[in-house]
Structure 1
């Protein structure tokens, strides 16, 4: 992939509004938004922010719903060189306080629905523009002029502080430049082969980087967004049909959730050609393609680099693809040595274009230094590689458990249990044992209307797992705590084994297994 051009996001929007003013950028709840309207409304919000005394480099937190006004605000900040701080709208209490305390936004734009939880913090934000059904301070953007504001943003200026995923620890502020924020969309365009006239079902929440990347890709690539208020597995395909969507995006558990919806005669009656994203389990890859008549295109990326650093546009089942030309990837052992083909190693990345490498964490030099070894960025993810250079994801390095002297991949065990017809989602964690290593505790969320006992699940697993991978403890759960990418936050799951179903106590000992 070549170096992105020097034209910044703000300049691209300004030019597109001039050259293709009537091109449809987005639809939402019956409203059609053209490129000219997107630019004008972003300009109005930019003038509002200038009137509030903000200047280039100041930080602005956005705690807004999936709504076109959120998009206008994102582009307004990019035009002015203000640093966007995305705030997950589902955060409450200490996790919310941590983001605000760590990122230190100079001003927060928030929906009034979050007023109570923001004001309940020990140190609530001092400056907030409320979006409040036309009556809040933020809503005054509609009265502002839509002329181009003065702005002078350079391609490598930092314009985003995005929280790292936080699946295993407190989120860190990842610095992202304007160039980063354009390079990510370029990988999406390459992955999807999107063309003008295509329509993307746009369900992603905009406090997550994937949603913002798609919104910028639409501007650059000329395709249209069919924006939804939220993700819904039960209504997903009806929304795609109504929008005339040609592409759907997936993350985390999205595809398994869609596949587990009841089959319908119209499962293939839609315009969708391509499902693209990251995290498709190989066990369902072909089943999903055959049931819904789409092609899966998988990739791999991370918050610290680009949305994708590898791409698999050819559809090799289970593969996250090969590295982009601007990155070198090496699978390494704990000493940093390259592993042989077929062996599991940590995915380490080196940017051939420094401007597209990791730009650092906010105020965390220790974590920044620990992210590198001999010039290679350590992702914490595991993979194998075949003789053709295709990579195959093998879970998180920190998600490796050790039981009876044997290393166990949580991802591997979860993938097996996820195949059970009654199971919607699962998560495996390690809990302390009397032997000093891990015992396995499995959390299970069942599909609606399905019932199965712990004993039945364990006995079913015997035909699919070696004895040392069969969990000892099992808990049924109604909902999992999740990140914006629909990844389960294992750090929030209890490690207690008190009053938990225990197969050894039930007489299903290791010897019997």
Structure 2
């Protein structure tokens, strides 16, 4: 691994050395390092002209585009703190992001500004609509000569809350660089590789891929959406060598009809997380591609472990700069064959683990303890020291490519006048992730219509947060401390109302931006 030097100047250094080298191929044509560096400087200057200072937070609610690509690099160039937000986010979760970060500026695509109507938090915040989908024109001069270093804050990325609101992970320039380095290890990249990218820029999964050409001699093929039916044709025609899988992607591709393109490609590695063990070998056999599974989280520079040994179902071994232990509820360290325990991560490289959650000292203290970073995830070891991931210890559901917080969905439902209390659970989906089922205890004397409740909630939730099923219950089973015992809630399909939405349309669905 090369020395961690920071990313603020890396793009410009490469542009000066190899201005015509291709950074990425897009639907609008190839983007060279020279053109992207020029555009990043222009974006940094534009923000500087708006009065944004180094260290100021900038909320960005944009889909993948050339403008958002240059903006991300411009934010790093100018030392501004990027706060990426899903453009579909609305209501209380969006308010929470704005209250927490108190940004100086909001940048968004046209149409997204409607989400800010009636939000008091935006009264004193500049909002700029970015309508130009091309690369900005050249700036006369860079806006500053005091650039951000490796330990400076680069971004605040919000991860879905489980027992509370979403938490803003503080990610430094060094952590982003390590995330890109980790991808290169997990995906086994070599000079000249071409990685197919459909991920949203506003997720760590997309951000780390965007930075990979800055640390390795590779290029990207950036698609504006995931299309299962055209997937293999796209990667074949682009000459891609790598694809990224998340959630149900592996299963979605396996469900597609046979195609002449599915073997007529140069892809040799599918890297990522969430491959169901039963789909692993059928995928490799059908498409002729090696699966390299990984595990990680934003708080630990994205990737914590990777599986280079082909052990089906395993997330492998720790990255060179991490050490992983498993601990039971008493704090005892677990070894092979000793069951499941919480995954705790330590590092030999100061700065590889987040300094904490922005403006949330309580959550920071809970996660960052003397023995390492407590992930809240369950894992186990096999006899050879390979790690297996068994899901979250806390209350969230993986749905449509997102970790959906039960707290956030329940807090919306609980505001409905006919709802006494609500409880969200995940029920098995068709392709390996989950659909959301919401249980509702009606207020005494009311007989709410689930369809009316769903419509009322839909205006306050992003599409991936909306329940597929709603069931009414007279009362909830509870612990002695009055907590709802979700595992005892009835799962009978005949007892629930179903929304008229596709059961397996993740946010990477065909025809939608990721």
TM-score > 0.5 by shorter chain = yes
Matching residue within 493, 496, 501 for 1:478: 501
Q: Which residue of 2 aligns with 1:278?
A: 273
Q: Would the aligned equivalents of 1:428 and 1:442 in 2 still touch at CA under 8 Å?
A: no
TM-score normalised by length of structure 2? 0.78
Q: Residue 10 of structure 1: SS of its match in structure 2?
A: coil
Query: Given the alignment of the two structures, is residue 363 of structure 1 paired with residue 359 of structure 2, yes or no?
Result: yes
Pair 118,474 (structure 1): closer, same or farther in 2 beyond 3 Å: closer
**Residue in 1 aligned with 2:458?**
none
Identify the residue that residue 255 of structure 2 maps to in structure 1: 260
Q: How is 1:382-393 mapped onto 2 (pairs within 5 angstroms)?
A: 382-393=378-389
For residues 488-503 of structure 1, the aligned pairs below 5 Å read none
- 1:211 deviates by 0.6
Aligned partner of 1:112 in structure 2 is: 110
Structure 2: where are the runs of 5+ without partners? 398-424, 440-474, 480-484, 510-514
Deviation at 1:232, TM superposition (A): 2.5
Quote the offset at 1:169 in angstroms: 3.7
Equivalent residue, structure 2, for 1:129: 128
- 48-57 or 149-158, which moves further after superposition? 149-158
In 1, distance between residues paired with 2:163 and 2:225? 25
**Residue 450 (structure 1) aligns with:** none
Corresponding position of 1:349:
345
Write the distance in 1 (CA, Å) between the matches of 2:388 and 2:118: 45
The answer to whether the 8 Å contact 2:24/2:30 transfers is yes
Task: Tell which deviates more after alignment, 168-177 or 84-93.
Answer: 168-177
Superposition pairs of residues 98-497 of structure 1, within 5 angstroms: 98-124=96-122, 126-133=125-132, 141-142=136-137, 144-145=139-140, 149-166=144-161, 169-342=164-337, 343-398=339-394, 425-427=433-435, 434=477, 437=485, 438-440=487-489, 478-479=501-502
Task: Provide the rounded CA distance (Å) in 1 between the counterparts of 2:65 and 2:222.
Answer: 8
Per the normalisation by structure 1, the TM-score is 0.78
Runs of 5+ unmatched residues, structure 1: 402-413, 444-453, 456-471, 487-513
For the residues of structure 2 that align with 1:304 and 1:226, how far apart are their CA atoms? 27
Partners of 1:365 and 1:428 lie apart in 2 by: 30
- TM-superposed CA distance for 1:23, in Å, is 0.6
Inter-partner Cα distance in structure 2 for 1:287 and 1:415: 26
CA 168–282 in structure 1, closer or farther in 2 if over 3 Å, else same: farther
Residue correspondences, number? 439
CA displacement at 1:484 relative to structure 2? 7.0
The structure-2 alpha-carbon separation of the partners of 1:156 and 1:323, relative to structure 1 and needing over 3 Å to count, comes to same
Higher relative contact order (CA 8 A, sep 6+): 2
Range with greater deviation from structure 2 (228-237 or 422-431):
422-431
Q: By how many angstroms is 1:376 displaced?
A: 2.2
Question: How big is the alpha-carbon RMSD for the aligned residues of Structure 1 and Structure 2?
Answer: 3.0
With over 3 angstroms needed to count, the CA separation of the structure-2 counterparts of 1:425 and 1:396, relative to structure 1, is closer
* Contact kept? 2:315, 2:388, Cα under 8 Å: yes
Q: Quick check: 1:88 aligned with 2:86?
A: yes
Shift of 1:152: 2.3
Offset of residue 433 of structure 1: 5.4
State the 1:117 CA deviation.
1.6
Q: CA deviation at 1:196?
A: 3.0
Aligned equivalents of 2:396, 2:204: Cα separation in 1: 27
Q: Within 1, Cα distance between the matches of 2:432 and 2:186?
A: 28
